[in-house]
Structure 1
Amino acid sequence: MTALAFRSLRRRAGAFTASLLALFLGATILMAFASMLDTASGTDGTAHETLVTMASVVGGWGLLLVVFAVTSTLTLSVRQRSAEMALLKSVGATPAQLTRMITVEAAGLAVVAALLAIGPAVLVGRGLLALLHDTGQVPGDVAHAFGPIAVSMGVGITFVSAAGAALLTSRRLARGRIADTLAGTDAGRLTRKRIGFAALFFAVAMGEAVVTVTVMRDAGGDAMATSGQADIFAALGLALLAPALVRRAASVLAGPLRRFGGAAGDLAVTGMLRRTNAMAAVVTPVILFTGIAVGTLYLQATENAATAATGVAKTAEQKNIETLNFVVIGMVVLFTAIMLVNTLVAATAHRRREFGQTRLAGATPRQVMGTVAVETAVLTVLGLACGSVASLFTIVPFSLVRVDSPMPEGDAWTYVAVVALAAALTGTTVAAATRRVLRTPAIEAVAA
């Protein structure tokens, strides 16, 4: 099975593109921030503290986000191969053999992605250090170092997260019945582990919020250290519950969509109820993108307003911290946006056979596009709503501390812009990917 895994990687390179991109971007970010620890080894005093803080605090929650994104993408990739695994089982492959094949594939892909990411990670790491030089937080004579800490963390974490995600998902699929796997249905039931991790993330988010309004009440802008991470943990918790949320939304909207949406609405509801986990994979990056972007932008806007209210001009240090916040968060939001597009393209491309079967059953390409449009609208609204709720875990506590109000400072157009960007990315990506899939003749799509 190990030999089969490597042959699969060589001959089906296109099928692994989404997973490779996720691993590559994740490894790049991990090594870039970890290189700050390599750089810090040759410094002392304030410069050392700044570099370690950059690597541990920002890199720490960035690590959590990257691991989750990589795990989510690989889980989607493994689930898309359920029919292949069922066929291998039907000819005698054991669950243990299938699990080993998928895990070896993921591990090999992780090693390749991590090695490819070394060059870009060096460039990103230098850019981060240059930013610290420009903002005066690290002396200009401190040179960037990219050494064993960056490489070991990047390769090690990428390898472990990829292999772990593949192992857990493949074991669950390999143990399923062949008939159920070939049917391609998933009820979206949440496992106890998934619920447990979701509860843990929510507990951490709530803990961060409580610490912000109690311990950090008189800490001024330093309260960003606790409140700034709360929306990330809340978004991760909601993302883990996405399958149940999708199923609930489809059940609630089934009547109106079937009544007013015609054939497209009926097909959309049926698809969301039969393929809940696959649909949840589309919602997850929307939740993360919205929650992090909205929470962070209003966090900084509130801090700016609180500083202005004192009547004292911003110090150079405050301006530098603001610049650093925007740049670093911009990197994370960009990563989330790329993962959103990557996941949508992978999920839509995998539906080639499904779309072909639907067209052979009598549906026109226009009706298929309509079905996908309805699905995308429901899933986007659900993701935006969950992401907005997640952002409140950061916005409300920090606003209470800094401006004595649960309402944040900042323009309402900031929220509108984030929502519009998330909706545009989702809608445009799915529409383009669907059109590309529909170019394949229905008979060829079913035979593929």
Structure 2
Amino acid sequence: MVLAWNNVRTNRLGLAASFAAVLLAVTLVGGGGLVVAGAGARDELNGVIGLLVLSAVVSGFVSVFVVAGMLSLHVLRQRRTWALLRSVGMTPRQVSRLITAEALVVAVLAGAAGCVLAVPYAWVMSGFVRMTGLAPEGVPVEVTPWPFVVALVVGLAVTLLAARGAARKAVGVGPLEVLRESAAQRRILPWPRAVAGVMALAGGGGLLFLVPQVKATAAVPAGLGAAMVLCVGASALGPVVLRGAGWLVGLVVARFDPGAGMLAGSSLVTQPRRAMAAASPVMLTIALACTFLFAVSTGDAADGVVRTGPSAWAAPILVGSAVVYTVISVLNATAMTMAERGEEIRLLRTLGVKPRQLTRMVCWETLIVTCAGTLLGTGIAAAALTALGVAATGRPAFTYSVTQYAGLVLVCAASGLAGAVVSTRKARRGSLRPD
């Protein structure tokens, strides 16, 4: 615990993304629980409770996904640190306990701050529900203990699950890894990850087959569940897709921008798992947000309902918290993946690559990663919405909004570009001496 606390204090930047992810998870779950507790006291708000619970479940799933990704990135960045500890005698079990202790320290600090922020978030959600007409008289916010308890348990459970997966990666680092200078990853897709990915895709496909056969009230939750399971499978198998995309798109980009395009494509081919860590939040945002938003519009079209005024913003607002969460994770993931490349970028500068070329390389790489995440998320959302369309209308068709879809893609791209450009500015334009 002493070593873990010192590591957290000295590596604040590396763990800041994990802290922010747990903080938002506790805030979303705790604030949503306070609103649900207030709505539960009034029978006329039963429909609102269902939507709020569904939104909270989506937020909880996103938190698991994002926290796991942030801790995995932290472990990958500290690869040589774990190898150094192994080389001086630390056992694999001690390394695993150290990572778990670090995660617990972050979870406790973030959980306490998240409980404080949950109350104002609940008031904001209550105001949005009243403004959109879902509850014209508003939802009373009751500050009761159990939403905070649930939020803290969710935060700790999510962090421990993520830490367990991250610890496996750290334990797999050998003592001689500290001497390895190559950036290439030797195993792009370990067999346990491949098996888990295939099983998740098969499970998601099975859930999609069941969506048209369940009750109408359970169709949307089942469709969202299928999308979540498919996201897990796509994230596990994604490095293979990104390596192919990096090679193919890199060739195309290199024709327009030879130097920067070639470097961007080579980076993705060399480090597809690192790139997938940045693409996963994009995929998650597109898949879940589109499934939730367009499932509502498909159901309205099937029932002949036309939403105007504030009620038209009900679905976007309910899914907005999860979207904001994943957008922040896009910023964090991109910044973390780019920040660890300071030495690589400085080496390229010593070889004659100009700062402008490095800026274009970073932008091209981010755009390729965003496109890959967008395509994966779009495919998952389209599959889930097709099943929901069959359940609602009997036909494999669904209603969608090009404006909302384009807005989500642009927000993800802008977030990724901002994180990449800001995090690499010092390496691209600063001193050539290492930190």
Q: TM-score, normalised by structure 1?
A: 0.85
Q: Does 1:406 align with 2:424?
A: no
For 2:141 and 2:381, the matched residues in 1 are separated by 34
Partner SS for 1:63: helix
Decide whether aligned partners of structure 1 residues 314 and 349 sit closer, same or farther in structure 2, where only a CA change above 3 A counts.
closer
Partner SS for 2:209: helix
The residue aligned with 1:298 is 294
Please, which runs of 5 or more residues in structure 1 have no aligned partner?
Answer: none
Q: Is the 8 A contact 1:230 1:393 kept in 2?
A: no
TM-superposed CA distance for 1:120, in Å, is 1.3
For 2:163 and 2:308, the matched residues in 1 are separated by 49
Decide whether aligned partners of structure 1 residues 365 and 314 sit closer, same or farther in structure 2, where only a CA change above 3 A counts.
closer
Counterpart amino acid of 2:156?
Answer: F
Q: Is the 8 A contact 1:246 1:279 kept in 2?
A: yes
Residue by residue over 1:169-207, the C-alpha shift from the partner in whole angstroms, topping out at 9 and shown as x without a partner, is 233223322344543432453344433443454345334
TM-superposed CA distance for 1:112, in Å, is 0.2
TM-superposed CA distance for 1:148, in Å, is 3.3
TM-superposed CA distance for 1:134, in Å, is 6.0
The residue aligned with 2:354 is 364
For 1:254 and 1:126, the matched residues in 2 are separated by 47
**Which of 408, 416, 422 is the aligned partner of 1:418?**
408
The residue aligned with 1:156 is 153
Partner SS for 2:424: helix
Please, which runs of 5 or more residues in structure 2 have no aligned partner?
Answer: none
Counterpart amino acid of 2:197?
Answer: A
The residue aligned with 1:97 is 94
Q: Does 1:286 align with 2:282?
A: yes
Decide whether aligned partners of structure 1 residues 383 and 8 sit closer, same or farther in structure 2, where only a CA change above 3 A counts.
same
The residue aligned with 1:237 is 233
Q: Is the 8 A contact 1:76 1:281 kept in 2?
A: yes
Q: Does 1:63 align with 2:52?
A: no
For 1:307 and 1:148, the matched residues in 2 are separated by 40
For 1:325 and 1:277, the matched residues in 2 are separated by 33
TM-superposed CA distance for 1:352, in Å, is 1.5
Deviates more, 1:271-280 or 1:173-182: 173-182
The residue aligned with 1:177 is 174
The residue aligned with 1:126 is 123
Q: Is the 8 A contact 2:86 2:174 kept in 1?
A: no
**Which of 342, 347, 351 is the aligned partner of 2:332?**
342
The residue aligned with 2:320 is 330
For 2:27 and 2:51, the matched residues in 1 are separated by 16
For 1:324 and 1:204, the matched residues in 2 are separated by 31
- The count of aligned residue pairs is 433
For 1:335 and 1:270, the matched residues in 2 are separated by 30
TM-superposed CA distance for 1:51, in Å, is 6.8
For 2:20 and 2:44, the matched residues in 1 are separated by 36
For 1:6 and 1:12, the matched residues in 2 are separated by 10
Q: Does 1:81 align with 2:78?
A: yes
For 2:403 and 2:54, the matched residues in 1 are separated by 30
TM-superposed CA distance for 1:22, in Å, is 1.2
Decide whether aligned partners of structure 1 residues 171 and 231 sit closer, same or farther in structure 2, where only a CA change above 3 A counts.
closer
TM-superposed CA distance for 1:341, in Å, is 1.3
For 1:315 and 1:289, the matched residues in 2 are separated by 25
Q: Percent identity?
A: 23
Deviates more, 1:91-100 or 1:189-198: 189-198
Counterpart amino acid of 1:352?
Answer: G
Q: Is the 8 A contact 2:188 2:239 kept in 1?
A: yes
Partner SS for 2:315: helix
**Which of 354, 358, 373 is the aligned partner of 2:363?**
373
For 1:139 and 1:294, the matched residues in 2 are separated by 27
**Which of 265, 271, 280 is the aligned partner of 1:269?**
265
The residue aligned with 1:355 is 345
Residue by residue over 1:273-309, the C-alpha shift from the partner in whole angstroms, topping out at 9 and shown as x without a partner, is 322221111111111112223333332332333333x
For 1:141 and 1:403, the matched residues in 2 are separated by 33
Partner SS for 1:362: coil
The residue aligned with 2:382 is 392
Q: TM-score, normalised by structure 2?
A: 0.87
